[in-house]
Amino acid sequence: MEQDAERSTSTTATVASTSEVSDLDPIARVRKLLFRQMLVGIKDGRFFLGNFHCIDKQGNIILQDTVEYRSIRRSSPSPTEQRCLGMILIPSSCRTSCHVDCSIEEQLSLVQLKE
Amino acid sequence: MQPVREEESSSIQNDPGNCSIPSGDSSVWADVSPLLSAACTDLQEGELIHGDNFNLFAAMSALEIMDPKMDSGMVSAFYSIDEAIESGFAPVPISSDKTVNVESIIDIMDHLLVCEATWHMGHSLAQTVFSCIYVLRPERTSSQALLHSYCRVIRATCRAVVSVVSDARTNEEEDLLTMTYGLPFNGDEDAKGLLLLNAVEETICRQLRACKATSAKRRLLEELEPLQTNPHLEEGFCKALLCRIRFRKHFLHALNCMRRPQGRGHELARKHIASCISELQSLLESAEFLRSNTVNNGETEIEERTTASGRQPIGFDSTLNKRLSAPTPPRAIKLLSWKKAIDYFVKLLHNLDQICAFSLEPDLDFVLQFVIQFHKSRPDLVSRAHLQLLLVQDGKLYGRDTFLTICARLLAIDVSKNHGLHLNEYILQLNQLMINLLKILCANTPWQRRKLGKILNDWSIFNVQMGINVGQLMQQDTSRSQKNGDRSLFILNHVYGWIEEQIHWVALRFLVLGFELDLYSPSEYCMVYWYMYIILWKLHEKARLRVLIVVHSEERKAKRNKEYSRDMAREDRISLWVLLIQCQTSLTQGLTLMIAALRNEGMCLKSQGPFNTENEKFTQHFELLQKASLPEYDAYESFSKSTAHASLDFLPAYECFRDAQKMAKDIKVGYANDPDKLAEVRGIEQVAEHNVIAVNLLCQDRSLKVSLEFTHHPYFATAIVRRS
């Protein structure tokens, strides 16, 4: 299973595959993001970094092996604390941002595809 | 919870595009929110995007972020303690107005007392005592001697309690009392708290004297600054503070004294405990004065107040440490009220006093009876932990007597000449069994019962092994060992006999605890009393044997040595105890027969439900006893045979209740000086008396209604007869 995940990561990360990806519909493209490192920010200012595991129609996301990052003070920039949480469910209602770890080339393609 | 390295943590902002959380090498964070929302729109209802390893069942256990019952990291009022302090949540000094300052400190003291009691009841330290920023960061208040020293002493007290409970390990898994992860527990600094508190007490004493003094004397004391600015309130505030400070001081002293080995500090501890109780009384009395100063807005009920004045204390936020309360879910806790907290401490202190007053006699009968008596007041964890640490120290009773000498004393044998015996494998095992038993007896009631049931098996296996081995040795060479003056075998044989008695004692305790825990339904009383009768009967037989051994050997010693004084008090005590068991045996026999007769005549309590047969219920209740071969025969068969033909017509002829009543009368004389025992025996006597009358009435008129109630004794039922 893990090998599959790595393979999918490596293929999507290559430049060659970007054009291929761009042809797919959004669902297929999100499916390509599975198992990759995802950074989700939520309303109260915390961030969660974990492996993208699942998403449903309502936009609730499940991450695996998650680390929580939290600032010590309200005023930013400030130092952060972190702790491990394991598997978490982030309801779409409290999600404010969502990012995926990728190469610069891939990022460009994702940005293009948005429009 | 280590802070992220500096370069990584430079800026986490709401725009994670340039977020500081590192992405992989030569890669960036790409915003995928639009892509996700596009995908979500395309998804069908109920459809998920997931990998091959997705498991819905596992996904159900994911921690839901921002759920108040699951997410302990949810940011509430403050991001961190530092932020709370910077925002002026816990100012130092609390107010520039000295009167307000003192008032606020008293509120904090009261609230801390409430927190401490709530903590003792099993909540986490992080959410109770350490929800106070002044306790979390005592170094901030070093300029405010009063608040500072008080917080230091609170911390030292918490440490003392944690150490007692975690050493004794009488706490259950659900008790969070000993969890202190991530909390600042700085021992060295806190130890100085008492010295500081003494100095503060001294100053306030002088301030109190100054405000009471007449004007002439006042001049002499003029250089002394008053506690606060309002002269009319000075006396009241001084008094309110003094009782709070003194309670703290004496409480910590008492806890420390009780930890001295072999109960050496008990006498001193009792003095401190007495002071504590009287200071708590003063605390209650100070409430009127403190309440009179507050503008009463009538919002908080007296029952819910956590301070004497009824104001909310400053500097407390139970959500600050919420993440430290893991592994529990982040639940909100309900604090006790101030009144209830004081009640709790009074009870705790009385229980501790009971322990300190215990005479530490090297007599196991005495110890076991004390522990049972102690349990009657339902003592809380902290006092039970103290009792356990007193009873078992360094593998010895009170840290003083080995269990071999204790057993030998029970049987009035002298073991001082048999040096090798304490290394005998059976004696070593017995030592372990006794330690376990004493520890279990200090646990809370449900746990105690469960564990007692389990150790019965250990005891009975040990008993069987020892029986076989000792029997073989006895056959091989009795003559030789007698000549050498080595009486090891003789002693082992007696110990073996006593173990059988002890097993039955444990079994009886197991059965009795079922009543305390309400485990038996009225339809099952018949079988429970039958079982108790079987166990008591055997216990009585074994105990009587031991009395004979004791009396015999004491007589011999007395003959040999003219100056030897027989411990008559002790002999009397055992004989009385044996008589009490006999009395209880008669009573349980009577109860069994009476209930069985009522059942057979269809007058009450059929034990047939739609789910379990009587046999199944019997097994459910007594499986552990039967596994330990108590009794050795098929108990259910014997039970059904012996109760099948019970009839009201023959009941009066058995006279079990009358026998019990007669014996109880005799025992009462013996226990004249022991009010606890006397009350117990009186209860038994009343049960017997009422049941005699009930049986007579029932024989005359079968149309009467009967019910069983525990009005006179906690586990011996009284039959109540009513005309329908």
Q: Do A110 and B48 touch (CB under 8 A)?
A: no
Q: Which of A54, A82, A98 sits opposite B54 (nearest CB)?
A: A54
Where is average pLDDT lowest: B404-408, B532-536, B554-558? B554-558
A46 touches chain B (CB under 8 A): yes
Distance spanning both ends of chain A, measured CA to CA: 33
Q: Which of residues 635-654 of B touch A (CB under 8 A)?
A: none
Q: Given this model, what pLDDT does residue B555 score?
A: 80
* 3-class DSSP assignment, residue B708: strand
Across residues B621-643, what is the average pLDDT?
90
Q: Do B24 and A88 touch (CB under 8 A)?
A: no
Q: Given this model, what pLDDT does residue B478 score?
A: 58
Across residues B667-682, what is the average pLDDT?
89
CA distance A93 to chain B (A): 10
DSSP B130-173: GGBHHHH-GGGGTT-HHHHHHHHHHHHHHHHHHHHHHHHT---T
**pLDDT level of residue B194 (50, 70, 90 thresholds):** very high
Q: Given this model, what pLDDT does residue B20 score?
A: 64
Pairing of strands B396-397, B718-722: unpaired
> Which is more confidently placed, B267 or B2?
B267
**pLDDT level of residue B681 (50, 70, 90 thresholds):** very high
Pairing of strands A80-90, B63-64: parallel
Q: Given this model, what pLDDT does residue B297 score?
A: 54
Distance, CA of B575 to CA of B580 (rounded, Å): 9
**pLDDT level of residue B358 (50, 70, 90 thresholds):** very high
Distance, CA of B514 to CA of B523 (rounded, Å): 14
Residue B7 has pLDDT above 50, yes or no: no
CA distance B25 to chain A (A): 9
Amino acid of residue B473: L
Across residues B559-569, what is the average pLDDT?
72
B329 touches chain A (CB under 8 A): no
Q: Which of B4, B44, B75 sits opposite A44 (nearest CB)?
A: B75
Is the peptide bond between B714 and the residue preceding it cis, with omega within 30 degrees of 0?
no
Q: Which of B32, B58, B73 sits opposite A46 (nearest CB)?
A: B73
Q: Give the best-scoring range by mean pLDDT among A101-110, B185-194, B326-335, B475-484.
A: B185-194
Q: Given this model, what pLDDT does residue B439 score?
A: 93
Portion of chain B with pLDDT greater than 90, in percent: 44
Q: Given this model, what pLDDT does residue A80 score?
A: 77
Q: Which of residues 60-79 of B touch A (CB under 8 A)?
A: 61-66, 73-75, 79
Q: Do B32 and A1 touch (CB under 8 A)?
A: no
Where is average pLDDT lowest: B101-110, B146-155, B425-434, B604-613? B604-613
- Whether the CB-CB separation of B224 and B218 falls below 8 Å is answered with no
Q: Do B39 and A113 touch (CB under 8 A)?
A: no
Q: Do B35 and A76 touch (CB under 8 A)?
A: no
Q: Do B3 and A102 touch (CB under 8 A)?
A: no
- pTM assigned to the model: 0.83
Cβ partners under 8 Å of residue B655, min gap 6:
none
The count of other CB atoms within 10 Å of the CB of residue B711 is 11
Q: Given this model, what pLDDT does residue B203 score?
A: 93
Distance, CA of B118 to CA of B219 (rounded, Å): 46
> Which is more confidently placed, B251 or B572?
B251
DSSP B291-314: HHTS-----S-GGG-SSSS-PPPS
Chain A contact set for B51 (CB, 8 A) = 1, 4-5, 34-35, 53-54
Where is average pLDDT lowest: B186-190, B215-219, B506-510? B215-219
Written as six digits, the tokens of B249 are: 């001081």
Q: What is the 3-state secondary structure (H, E, C) of chain A?
A: CHHHHHHHHHHHHCHHHHHHHHCCCHHHHHHHHCCCEEEEEECCCCEEEEEEEEEECCCCEEEEEEEEEEECCCCCCCCEEEEEEEEEEECHHHEEEEEEEEEHHHHHHHHHHHC
Residue B257 has pLDDT above 90, yes or no: yes
Q: Given this model, what pLDDT does residue B419 score?
A: 64
* 3-class DSSP assignment, residue B484: helix
Residues in chain B: 724
Q: Given this model, what pLDDT does residue B70 score?
A: 81
Residue of B nearest to A27 (CA): B39
**Where do the structural domains in chain A lie, given as residue ranges?**
2-114
Q: Do A81 and B62 touch (CB under 8 A)?
A: no
At residue A63, φ and ψ (nearest 5 deg) are -115, 150
Which residue is listed with tokens 């000295």?
B98
Portion of chain B with pLDDT greater than 70, in percent: 89
Residue B197 has pLDDT above 60, yes or no: yes
Is the peptide bond between B379 and the residue preceding it cis, with omega within 30 degrees of 0?
no
Q: Do A48 and B65 touch (CB under 8 A)?
A: yes
The count of other CB atoms within 10 Å of the CB of residue B308 is 27
Q: Given this model, what pLDDT does residue A73 score?
A: 77
Distance of CA B398 to CAs B133, B237, B333, B393, Å? 40, 44, 37, 6
**pLDDT level of residue A34 (50, 70, 90 thresholds):** very high
Q: Do B79 and A71 touch (CB under 8 A)?
A: yes
**pLDDT level of residue A22 (50, 70, 90 thresholds):** low
Give per-residue pLDDT as tens, B279-323.
Answer: 999 999 999 898 887 765 555 566 778 898 888 899 998 877 766
Please choose, from the candidates B633, B636, B630, B635, the residue with its C-alpha nearest in 3D space to the C-alpha of residue B460. B630
Give per-residue pLDDT as tens, B566-611.
Answer: 677 777 888 888 999 999 999 999 999 999 988 888 776 655 667 7
Please choose, from the candidates B646, B722, B660, the residue with its C-alpha nearest in 3D space to the C-alpha of residue B688. B660
* 3-class DSSP assignment, residue B520: coil
Q: Do B21 and A69 touch (CB under 8 A)?
A: yes
- Classify residue B33 as exposed, middle or buried by CB count within 10 Å of its CB (0-12, 13-18, 19+): middle
Cβ partners under 8 Å of residue B429, min gap 6:
B462
Q: Given this model, what pLDDT does residue B706 score?
A: 87
Across residues B159-170, what is the average pLDDT?
89
Q: Given this model, what pLDDT does residue B6 score?
A: 36
Residue of A nearest to B75 (CA): A44
Residue of A nearest to B63 (CA): A88
**pLDDT level of residue B409 (50, 70, 90 thresholds):** confident
Residue A77 has pLDDT above 70, yes or no: no
Mutate to test the interface with B, among A14, A36, A42, A44 (most CBs of B within 10 A): A44
Distance, CA of B550 to CA of B531 (rounded, Å): 29
**pLDDT level of residue B11 (50, 70, 90 thresholds):** very low
Angle at CA of residue B543, ends B560 and B558, nearest 5°: 10
**CATH, domain A2-114, list 3.40.50.800, 3.40.50.300, 1.10.10.60, 2.30.30.100:** 2.30.30.100
Q: Which of B16, B38, B64 sits opposite A89 (nearest CB)?
A: B64
Mean pLDDT for all residues in chain B: 85
Q: Which of residues 4-33 of A touch B (CB under 8 A)?
A: 4-5, 13, 25-27, 29-31, 33
Q: Which of A35, A48, A76 sits opposite B11 (nearest CB)?
A: A76
Q: Do B24 and A101 touch (CB under 8 A)?
A: yes
The DSSP element (H or E) to which B50 belongs, if any, is strand B48-50
Written as six digits, the tokens of A86 are: 């394991």
Q: Given this model, what pLDDT does residue B482 score?
A: 53
